[in-house]
């Protein structure tokens, strides 16, 4: 998958997470979850964008690894929203699936980049 597709996918994922965050009720718990999901989903795309401008392979791997961690965190919060029935579960199913796909893609990108560095040694 070309990098711009991954960046587009992560941007759309963030936008959808923002819409979920905006839909949560205005109590303290939901406010904190909204904050967490907005920050972590935004960080996925931001770190992919930073990886695009990496000056070394190690920096690329580092940035993509952070994007992976943030995608996992976002997946965690989405599952908490669903588990605690803060929104209708069917509203979250597709977004959770998207988070699973992003995590799988990022695992593959990081693994392939690490394998390429090891092959060069």
What's 48's domain CATH number? 1.20.1440.60
Stretch 8-14: mean pLDDT: 96
Residue 48: other Cβ atoms inside 10 A: 27
Give Rg (Cα) of the chain: 15
For residues 81 and 33, is the Cβ–Cβ distance under 8 A?
A: yes
Nearest partner of 106 among 65, 73, 77, judged by Cα: 65
Mapping DSSP to helix (H, G, I), strand (E, B) and coil, where does residue 60 land?
A: helix
Domain range for 99: 3-120
pLDDT band, residue 1 (cuts 50/70/90): very low
Nearest partner of 41 among 2, 67, 4, judged by Cα: 67
Mapping DSSP to helix (H, G, I), strand (E, B) and coil, where does residue 62 land?
A: helix
* Residue pLDDT, tens place only, 56-85: 999 999 999 999 999 999 999 999 999 999
For residues 88 and 23, is the Cβ–Cβ distance under 8 A?
A: no
For residues 116 and 13, is the Cβ–Cβ distance under 8 A?
A: no
The count of domains in the chain is: 1
Indicate the pTM of the whole model: 0.91
Please give the distance of CA 57 from its chain centroid, rounded to a whole number: 21
Residue-level pLDDT at 54: 95
pLDDT band, residue 121 (cuts 50/70/90): low
């Amino acid at each position: 998958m070309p990098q711009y597709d991954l960046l587009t996918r992560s941007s759309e994922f963030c936008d959808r997470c923002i819409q979920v965050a905006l839909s949560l009720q205005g109590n303290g718990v939901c406010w904190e979850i909204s904050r967490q999901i907005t920050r972590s989903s935004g960080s996925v795309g931001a770190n992919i964008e930073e990886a695009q401008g990496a000056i070394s392979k190690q920096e690329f791997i580092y940035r993509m690894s952070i994007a992976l961690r943030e995608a996992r965190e976002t997946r965690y919060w989405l599952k908490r929203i669903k588990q605690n029935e803060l929104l209708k579960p069917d509203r979250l199913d597709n977004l959770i699936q998207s988070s699973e796909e992003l995590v799988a893609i990022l695992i593959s990108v990081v693994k392939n980049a690490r394998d390429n560095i090891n092959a060069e040694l």
